[in-house]
Amino acid sequence: MKDLSPKNRQAVLAIVILLQGVAVLFFASDALADAVSGSAFVETAMELFVAVMLVVGLYMGIIQLRALMGDLAEKNRALDIARGHFSRVVERQFEDWALTPAEREVALFALKGLDAAEIAGLRGAANGTVRAQLTRIYAKAGVSNRAQLAAFFVEDLLTEPVPDA
């Protein structure tokens, strides 16, 4: 279950909880019917024991589901904060490089992995114009290509320093 995404784990856990709830109803109603009809005590006791254990499992499953949902919400909040912080870092760096508004837009598209033709299509600009803007962006950033531009920002996210050659 650890290989599943948090949302898929939630879904699987919710299905298991639902099935446990159905099983609780079955065993509890069967035990009640056996008790009313005067069936064997051992069978009735066993069904009640199973029903109680299923209730305990149901309770623990609900606790796990709530914890999983809380963890997912916390991770989503942290991711939103990180995204916002990263966006601010990128914007500040664009200001330091004195990128024009058009260059900022092109640089953001480049950071998202779009090539010059795709950027030109999105912006309604000529391919040559976008290539010229990318060249100016790379020059202002002190890099020579899109990969180095992206690496400039990713470098700060890495925790391990690059070893000296």
Residues 103 and 142 in one domain: yes
Residues 24 and 68 in one domain: yes
Report the pLDDT value the prediction gives residue 141, as an integer from 0 to 100.
Answer: 93
Q: How many domains does the chain have?
A: 2
Question: Per the domain annotation, does 91 fall within a domain?
Answer: no
Question: Per the domain annotation, does 145 fall within a domain?
Answer: yes
Residues 63 and 13 in one domain: yes
**Triad 113, 114, 115: Cα angle to 5°:** 120
CA dist 39 and 46 (Å) reads 12
In terms of residue numbers, what domain contains 117? 97-157
Residues 68 and 117 in one domain: no
Report the pLDDT value the prediction gives residue 50, as an integer from 0 to 100.
Answer: 83
Tokens at residue 100, please?
A: 């024009």
pLDDT in tens, the chain (165 residues): 667 787 787 888 889 888 888 888 888 888 888 878 877 888 888 888 888 888 888 888 889 888 888 888 888 877 877 777 888 888 889 999 999 999 999 999 999 999 999 999 999 999 999 999 999 999 999 999 999 998 888 876 665 555 665
List the one residue out of 16, 3, 4, 26 whose CA is nearest residue 64. Answer: 16
Report the pLDDT value the prediction gives residue 158, as an integer from 0 to 100.
Answer: 66
Report the pLDDT value the prediction gives residue 62, as an integer from 0 to 100.
Answer: 85
Report the pLDDT value the prediction gives residue 114, as an integer from 0 to 100.
Answer: 94
Report the pLDDT value the prediction gives residue 48, as an integer from 0 to 100.
Answer: 82
Question: Per the domain annotation, does 51 fall within a domain?
Answer: yes
Residues 60 and 14 in one domain: yes
Question: Per the domain annotation, does 153 fall within a domain?
Answer: yes
Report the pLDDT value the prediction gives residue 159, as an integer from 0 to 100.
Answer: 58
Q: How far is CA 80 from CA 7, 44, 74, 76, in A?
A: 17, 53, 10, 6
E strand spans, the chain: none
Q: How far apart are the first and last CA of the chain?
A: 42
Report the pLDDT value the prediction gives residue 86, as an integer from 0 to 100.
Answer: 82
Report the pLDDT value the prediction gives residue 123, as an integer from 0 to 100.
Answer: 93
